[in-house]
Amino acid sequence: MSKVSASGSAARGSGDAVPIDARARLLAAAVDSFAEKGFHGTTTRDVAAGAGMSPAAIYVHHRSKEELLHQISRRGHDQTLALVRTAVASAPEPRAQLLEVMRAFVVHHAEGHTGARVVNYELAALSPEHLEEISAIRRAIEQEVRDVVEAGVAAGTFRTENPRMTTLALLSLGIDVARWYRDEGAWSPEEVADHYGELALRIVGAASATR
């Protein structure tokens, strides 16, 4: 495993040094600090220390602590929207689509649980402009899943009188994985995803995958 030097370079066996992107280091350190202490409990000094840089370095690469949070949130939500769309496109009908979406969504939130806690639970710390931007992406994610639920109802595969509320329940179920999942726990992300797929089918009133 390579080591990061004080100059911010990764040492290689050849003796050459590869620069590490300072912005990426600061974003990674911000994720860890925000997840551990919360946005308001984290100082710019905490973030800089986590990145192995001076406090002044933050303002060279980022205008504010809130901008760091915005970039983390934007990246996380863009990734989630992309994976949901890919999951929907990978299956031919609503039941299979729902299982693919839940699997991708849950694995994503389990494997990236530290960042996902920041992305989903620090929204109130965003500026009004940034919050509206992120909210628009969240609405797009919701609409993708809601379209699957509504298609299943129309086809007679799902039975729910309120597709919108059902969609919110499904998304909340997956998001909450980030709150409790830990790498050293008893279940792998895939095991959690399989179980949550079963729960999702029950929520929409579909037959279980094991029947």
CATH of the domain at 69: 1.10.357.10
13 has a pLDDT exceeding 60: no
CA distances from 8 to 43, 62, 63, 95, 156 (A): 21, 17, 21, 48, 58
8 has a pLDDT exceeding 70: no
Of the candidate ranges 10-14, 154-158, 176-180, 192-196, the one whose mean pLDDT is the lowest: 10-14
20 has a pLDDT exceeding 70: no
pLDDT of residue 71: 93
Same domain for 44 and 87, yes or no, is no
pLDDT of residue 177: 97
Residues 100-112: what's their mean pLDDT?
Answer: 97
Same domain for 55 and 82, yes or no, is no
pTM of the predicted protein model = 0.84
Same domain for 27 and 97, yes or no, is no
Residue 3 lies in a domain: no
Same domain for 109 and 144, yes or no, is yes
Same domain for 19 and 57, yes or no, is yes
Same domain for 75 and 144, yes or no, is yes
What residues make up the domain containing 34? 14-61
Domain end marker among 42, 61, 80: 61
Same domain for 192 and 102, yes or no, is yes
The chain-wide mean pLDDT, for the chain, equals 88
Residue 210 lies in a domain: no
Same domain for 55 and 126, yes or no, is no
Residue 30's CATH number: 1.10.10.60
Q: Can you tell me the distance from the alpha carbon of 52 to that of 146, in angstroms, rounded to the nearest whole number? A: 43
Residue 9 lies in a domain: no
Residue 119 lies in a domain: yes
4 has a pLDDT exceeding 70: no
- 163-175 and 189-203 helices, crossing angle to 10°: 160
Residue 44 lies in a domain: yes
Residues 30-40: what's their mean pLDDT?
Answer: 94
Residues 46-74: what's their mean pLDDT?
Answer: 86
Residue 155 lies in a domain: yes
* Cα maximum dimension of the chain: 65
Nearest alpha-carbon partner for 107 in 41, 1, 190: 190
At 62, is the pLDDT very low, low, confident or very high (cuts 50, 70, 90)? Answer: confident
pLDDT of residue 2: 32
Residues 91-101: what's their mean pLDDT?
Answer: 97
Q: Can you tell me the distance from the alpha carbon of 167 to that of 40, in angstroms, rounded to the nearest whole number? A: 31
119 has a pLDDT exceeding 50: yes
Same domain for 36 and 129, yes or no, is no
Q: How many domains does the chain have?
A: 2
Residues 60-85: what's their mean pLDDT?
Answer: 92
88 or 19, which is more confident?
88
Same domain for 30 and 44, yes or no, is yes
pLDDT of residue 5: 30
Residue 54 lies in a domain: yes
Same domain for 177 and 191, yes or no, is yes
At 12, is the pLDDT very low, low, confident or very high (cuts 50, 70, 90)? Answer: very low
At 54, is the pLDDT very low, low, confident or very high (cuts 50, 70, 90)? Answer: confident
At 124, is the pLDDT very low, low, confident or very high (cuts 50, 70, 90)? Answer: very high
Residue 5 lies in a domain: no
Same domain for 104 and 194, yes or no, is yes
